[in-house]
Amino acid sequence: MLPRALVVEDDRTHLEALQKLLEAEGFEVRTAGSLESAHEALSKEEFDLLLADLQLPDGTALDLFSALDERPTMEIVFVTGHGSVDTAIAAFRGGAVDYLTKPVDVARLRKILSRVHRTTRLHRQVGTLRSELRQLGRFGRMVGASAAMQGVYDQIQKVAPTAATVLLTGETGTGKELVAQTIHELSPRAQGPFLPLNCGAISQSLIESELFGHERGSFTGATKRHEGVFERANTGTLFLDEISEMPIELQVKLLRALENREVQRIGGDAPIGVDVRVVAATNRDLRQAVDDGRLREDLLYRLLVFPIHVPPVRERGEDVDLLATHFLAQLNRKEGTRKEITRAARERLLLHEWPGNVRELKHQIERAFIMSPHQIDAGCLSIPEGSLSATSGASLEIRVGMPLAEAERMLTLATLDHFGEKKKAAEVLGISLKTLYNRLNGYKIGAP
């Protein structure tokens, strides 16, 4: 597949010459003669290269930067007949990789095009690899192949390249900070800092200083100037966990920081500009928090630019097995061991409801790793019998809309756990023993 280029030039002679050159160098080319037509082309198609004249009949090509926020991999090269230091600086600050003056140095342009070929090929290889890893249950630092997590990955992929504020919702222990880190690492800010701040873990007397900083002598104990997390996260991402726990009187200052991209230290008299992307998270119902007077409604709507719900483990099916294998592999690497999880232990893990979500599962594997001499069997797990999804044999909860394959898996494993014998479980389920073994193999549990 050829790399795709958009050439923006109002001089027809120059436009045709550039188009022929790029096509000869192996590019698929689209053209535009104005700022308006360039915006239209960018809104409809994906390009690997933007080659644009700075001065256009209806404005400057620098105005295109607002349309390029979601295209971090696109190379940008500007051409002008009236070069100046100021325009060059503005172009590079906006993300341009090069700046050419007319008449265009053809040899130099060919070198640029050769580099674009290489970087485009690399980006596509990375994209292919990432897609393959997703199918295996890996996305950045995240682990999970379930449909619920694939939906989260899709949302992360769409929002990460932008500057949009993200709000993560989900139960405690679902891995919201890991989602925030993944958004950061897949964004153009990946080289900047990632700073997490738990708004519920800092006393009300200190949280304003931690957020916005303070000047020396601004209050008792302020012996030196302190930069807040907004300043320290400049050019990067700030993760505000438990956002609903922030004192109500500070929320208006947070809203101002988000709107104006500037903060003011305690005791300071001048605003400080900051370039920070905010990802907030909560395990509470924020609309209820607004009704209870614990969260400002205007702040809620400012945070709701791009919400992502992180699903609980009980809705992630076979991800339990993937996560357990992942955590065990980490421990094996750290300790230089080769411990494995037995089939019986995996069956037990799959039947647990995991109210503490990924965090609970990780701690369960760590404890079992310590308790097991060579392999982790069901006896090494500390899951209480009553917490299994079906141990009494009386009933099994199936959600409306649950895929039939998932309902079958839950029923099969719950029946097997209840009777503790495969032959009896197969008989009760009305299937052959061979069919039961085949199902267990399909669940990645395996047969003897």
Q: Token pair for residue 402?
A: 């649950």
- Tell me the C-alpha to C-alpha distance, in Å, between residue 224 and each of 8, 228, 315: 52, 13, 49
Does residue 133 register a pLDDT over 80? no
Q: Is residue 228 located within the same domain as residue 306?
A: yes
Q: Are 215 and 270 in contact (CB under 8 A)?
A: no
Percent of the chain residues topping a pLDDT of 70? 86
Per-residue confidence (pLDDT) for residue 335, from 0 to 100: 93
> Distance between CA 402 and CA 410 in Å, rounded?
11
> Distance between CA 338 and CA 343 in Å, rounded?
16
Q: Token pair for residue 314?
A: 């009980």
Phi then psi for 42, rounded to 5 degrees?
Answer: -70, -30
What CATH number does residue 334 fall under? 1.10.8.60
Q: Is residue 384 located within the same domain as residue 396?
A: no
Q: Is residue 297 located within the same domain as residue 328?
A: no
Does residue 240 register a pLDDT over 60? yes
Measured N-to-C along each axis, helices 404-419 and 422-429 cross at an angle, to the nearest 10 degrees, of 130
Which of these three, 310, 338, 356, is where a domain ends?
310
Which of these three, 96, 127, 158, is where a domain ends?
127
Does residue 237 register a pLDDT over 80? yes
Q: Is residue 296 located within the same domain as residue 147?
A: yes
The model's confidence at residue 337, banded by pLDDT at 50, 70 and 90, is: very high
What CATH number does residue 28 fall under? 3.40.50.2300
> Distance between CA 338 and CA 85 in Å, rounded?
61
Of the candidates 64, 48, 63, 44, the one whose C-alpha atom is nearest the C-alpha of residue 6 is: 48
For residue 245, give the DSSP letter.
G
For residue 65, give the DSSP letter.
G
- Residues linked to residue 226 through DSSP beta bridges, in sequence order: 214
> Distance between CA 196 and CA 337 in Å, rounded?
33
- Residues linked to residue 278 through DSSP beta bridges, in sequence order: 238
Q: What is the pLDDT of residues 40-51, one digit of tens each?
A: 888 888 888 888
Does residue 24 register a pLDDT over 50? yes
Does residue 278 register a pLDDT over 90? yes
Let me know if residue 283 belongs to a domain: yes
Provide mean pLDDT across the span 294-316: 92
Cα 162 from chain centroid (whole Å): 11
Let me know if residue 292 belongs to a domain: yes
Let me know if residue 56 belongs to a domain: yes
Q: Are 277 and 236 in contact (CB under 8 A)?
A: yes
The model's confidence at residue 138, banded by pLDDT at 50, 70 and 90, is: confident
Per-residue confidence (pLDDT) for residue 392, from 0 to 100: 40
Q: Is residue 298 located within the same domain as residue 396?
A: no
Let me know if residue 133 belongs to a domain: no
Provide mean pLDDT across the span 97-110: 82
Per-residue confidence (pLDDT) for residue 382, from 0 to 100: 86
Provide mean pLDDT across the span 144-167: 89
> Distance between CA 10 and CA 71 in Å, rounded?
24
Provide mean pLDDT across the span 340-354: 89
Does residue 11 register a pLDDT over 70? yes
Percent of the chain residues topping a pLDDT of 90? 36
Q: Is residue 380 located within the same domain as residue 400?
A: no
Does residue 82 register a pLDDT over 50? yes
The model's confidence at residue 448, banded by pLDDT at 50, 70 and 90, is: very low
Helix/strand/coil for 385:
helix
Q: Is residue 239 located within the same domain as residue 292?
A: yes
> Distance between CA 162 and CA 71 in Å, rounded?
8
- Tell me the C-alpha to C-alpha distance, in Å, between residue 392 and each of 207, 256, 385, 387, 388: 48, 55, 9, 11, 9
Q: Is residue 249 located within the same domain as residue 359?
A: no
Q: Is the peptide bond before 196 cis (omega within 30 degrees of 0)?
A: no
- 364-372 long-range contacts (CB < 8 A, ≥24 apart) are 365/324, 365/327, 365/328, 365/331, 366/327, 366/331, 369/328, 369/331, 369/335, 369/339, 372/339
Helix/strand/coil for 208:
helix
Q: Is residue 210 located within the same domain as residue 264?
A: yes
Provide mean pLDDT across the span 39-68: 80
Let me know if residue 415 belongs to a domain: yes
Residue 86 buriedness (CB in 10 A; 0-12 / 13-18 / 19+): exposed
Q: Are 8 and 52 in contact (CB under 8 A)?
A: yes
Highest mean pLDDT among 46-60, 276-290, 431-445: 276-290
Q: What is the pLDDT of residues 370-397, one digit of tens each?
A: 999 889 988 888 886 555 554 344 456 6
Q: Is residue 23 located within the same domain as residue 94?
A: yes
Let me know if residue 149 belongs to a domain: yes
Q: Is residue 71 located within the same domain as residue 185?
A: no
Q: Note down the domain range covering 213.
A: 138-310
Q: Token pair for residue 337?
A: 């061991």
Let me know if residue 76 belongs to a domain: yes
Q: Is residue 291 located within the same domain as residue 193?
A: yes
> Distance between CA 341 and CA 380 in Å, rounded?
10
Does residue 225 register a pLDDT over 90? no
> Distance between CA 160 and CA 204 in Å, rounded?
31
Q: Token pair for residue 377?
A: 């069997």
The model's confidence at residue 131, banded by pLDDT at 50, 70 and 90, is: low
Element (H, E) at 133: helix 106-135
Per-residue confidence (pLDDT) for residue 52, from 0 to 100: 86
Provide mean pLDDT across the span 195-208: 88
Provide mean pLDDT across the span 180-204: 90
> Distance between CA 294 and CA 311 in Å, rounded?
25
Domain count across the chain = 4
Highest mean pLDDT among 115-124, 360-369, 387-396: 360-369
Does residue 406 register a pLDDT over 60? yes
Provide mean pLDDT across the span 69-94: 66
Provide mean pLDDT across the span 238-266: 92
Higher-scoring residue by pLDDT: 71, 282 = 282
Per-residue confidence (pLDDT) for residue 252, from 0 to 100: 92
Report if pTM > 0.75: no
Q: Are 91 and 99 in contact (CB under 8 A)?
A: yes
What CATH number does residue 434 fall under? 1.10.10.60
Per-residue confidence (pLDDT) for residue 129, from 0 to 100: 56
Helix/strand/coil for 74:
coil
Which of these three, 272, 295, 310, is where a domain ends?
310
Let me know if residue 430 belongs to a domain: yes
